[in-house]
A = this chain, B = another copy of it.
Amino acid sequence: MTLTAKVPTRERILDAAWDLFVRRGYAGTTVAEIEAEASLSAGSGSLYRHFSSKEELLRAVVDREVERIDDARDMGPEPSETGGDVRVALALEFQRRLDNLRRLHPLIDLVRREHEHLGPSQQHLGDLLVEKNVSVRSQRLAAWMDAGAIPRRDPEALTTTILSALTGYHLAVEFFGGPPGGLREQELISTLVDLVAGT
């Protein structure tokens, strides 16, 4: 079963462009380099048989990645197997969010850097990353408040505040190459759990 289904040229171009745009940025990547990485002759312009311009290619790349996120929208298995321990459930949820941010960072960074070429894809990404998350997580928190497991507060404000903290931590790590103030990931999670659970 040497299943070497040959990848269509258009896909190879998208793969190559995604890789190069992430690593070197839009302006820092030439069409010739993309062609070479896609096993086309560098400088031949064969790319233009598949995309009408370099900018259209960028938009196609971003749109494809955003679609993939939407497909992969799972927050992992429900933490019911934590034996109902709120602190453990919270810690798992925060951990998953940080993992997700790490996984999505190349896309987030690309969209941020090249937003001038992108148009509506940017707001769309914002919706995917934040808005849809808030409602789901708020409901879970509200349920715990109702059950008396954590102190009662505004669930949506609390959710967004937590998401901001996790996002800010992640961006500081990526941006400055290390955790802000030397705070390790487990310490951040533990601090947030303490704050939310009101320990």
Q: Is the CB of A131 within 8 A of B181?
A: yes
Task: Find residues 86-143 in chain A having any chain B CB closer than 8 Å to their own CB.
Answer: 112-113, 116, 122-123, 126, 130-131, 134
Residue in B112, B159, B187, B198 whose CB lies within 8 Å of A154: B187
Q: Contacts of A165 on B, CB cut-off 8 Å?
A: 161-162, 164-165, 168
> Is A147 located at the chain interface by the 8 A CB criterion?
no
> Is A153 located at the chain interface by the 8 A CB criterion?
yes
Q: Contacts of A157 on B, CB cut-off 8 Å?
A: 183, 187-188, 190-191
Q: Contacts of A131 on B, CB cut-off 8 Å?
A: 180-181
Cβ distance A90 to chain B, nearest Cβ, rounded Å = 13
Q: Is the CB of A160 within 8 A of B134?
A: no
Q: Is the CB of B153 within 8 A of A194?
A: yes
How many chain copies? 2
Bound CA–CA A195/B141 (angstroms): 15
Stretch of A37-45, A52-60, A71-79, A169-177 with 4 or more beta carbons under 8 angstroms from chain B? A169-177
> Is A16 located at the chain interface by the 8 A CB criterion?
no
Bound CA–CA A156/B172 (angstroms): 16
Minimal Cβ-Cβ distance residue in B for A113: B113
Residue in B27, B163, B195 whose CB lies within 8 Å of A181: B163
Cβ distance A162 to chain B, nearest Cβ, rounded Å = 8
> Is A196 located at the chain interface by the 8 A CB criterion?
yes
> Is A32 located at the chain interface by the 8 A CB criterion?
no
A binding-site residues for B, Cβ under 8 Å:
25, 27-28, 112-113, 116, 122-123, 126, 130-131, 134, 153-154, 156-172, 175-177, 179-183, 187-188, 190-192, 194-196, 198
Apart from A27-B27, A167-B172: 19 A-B pairs, beta carbons within 8 A: A122-B176, A153-B191, A156-B182, A157-B183, A157-B187, A159-B181, A160-B181, A160-B188, A161-B191, A163-B180, A164-B164, A164-B165, A164-B166, A164-B172, A164-B180, A164-B183, A165-B165, A167-B171, A168-B170
